[in-house]
Amino acid sequence: MVKMSVSSVPSAGSSARSTPVPMQNSPGLGPYKPITPSQYGASIGKQSDDELRRQGVDDLLRMVRRLESENRSIIAEHSSIIKDVNRRVQIYNKEMRGLKDINQKLQDDNQELRDLCCFLDDDRQRSRKLAREWQRFGRYTASVMRSEVSAYQEKLKALENKQDELISENTELKELCLYLDQERIRFTQTRDDGDGSSNSTTAGHEENNQPPQIPDVAVTNNVNRRGK
């Protein structure tokens, strides 16, 4: 019977070791040679009791001693086989512990990869949600910007029209001022030519008291332009 120690058998709940032992073929683990009984013992076993009684005591004693020697050699060979089997069992147990360590490490790596995949999937979902929100915000911002640009363009067009009106009005006012200045100069010269006793002070005083006469045509054109 093969003898095995209880400590050599790994328990189901034993923890994995940090240094795994790779599985390898140990030397001398070939098939066992079968133990065959000796031919001498087999020949004695074939003899009957009467034949054994007819032999002398010395022959029987010699047979017993030879059988004992063969039995001892068989027992020694059997013990060697048992030791070798125990050694093989220990090697197998060591390899099993190494495989358990490797399996535990692979399970830990697998769990880490699963956790990482879950984290990456959650991050991907959050990124997609954030991208959709940014797309909605971009569309809303684009629509607001289009409306604002359209409103600003309308305001700019109105300001340009108003600026054109102001430029036209300023041009008319400049023309009117030039016309009034020319009329003032002409009126002053005419008055000086008609009355030689007047001086510049009197002319300036009369100029302030009596405004120049504006032709009706110029006034009418200015009023019409302002009405437009």
Three-state SS sequence of the chain = CCCCCHHHCCCCCCCCCCCCCCCCCCCCCCCCCCCCCCHHHHHHHHCCHHHHHHCCHHHHHHHHHHHHHHHHHHHHHHHHHHHHHHHHHHHHHHHHHHHHHHHHHHHHHHHHHHHHHHHHHHHHHHHHHHHHHHHHHHHHHHHHHHHHHHHHHHHHHHHHHHHHHHHHHHHHHHHHHHHHHHHHHHHHHHHHHHCCCCCHHHHHHHHHHCCCCCCHHHHHHHHHHHHC
Percent of the chain with pLDDT over 90: 45
Q: Count CB atoms within 10 A of the CB of residue 215.
A: 10
- The residue assigned the tokens 């098939």 is 31
Percent of the chain with pLDDT over 70: 60
Contact 8, 82 (CB under 8 A): no
- Which bin fits 111, alpha (ψ -120 to 50), beta or left (φ > 0)? alpha
Give the mean model confidence (pLDDT) for residues 180-195: 83
185 or 52: which leads in pLDDT: 185
Q: What integer pLDDT is reported at residue 77 of this predicted model? A: 87
pLDDT band with cut points at 50, 70 and 90 for residue 43: low
* DSSP code at position 12: T
Q: What integer pLDDT is reported at residue 214 of this predicted model? A: 45
Q: What integer pLDDT is reported at residue 37 of this predicted model? A: 59
Cα–Cα dist 60/131, whole Å = 103
18 or 189: which leads in pLDDT: 189
Kindly report, residue by residue over 106-124, the tens digit of the pLDDT: 999 999 999 999 999 999 9
Kindly report, residue by residue over 202-222, the tens digit of the pLDDT: 445 454 444 444 444 444 455
Give the mean model confidence (pLDDT) for residues 162-167: 94
Q: What integer pLDDT is reported at residue 49 of this predicted model? A: 67
pLDDT band with cut points at 50, 70 and 90 for residue 46: low
Answering whether pTM is above 0.85, one says no
pLDDT(171) > 90: yes
Which two structure tokens, joined as six digits, stand for 22? 């790779």
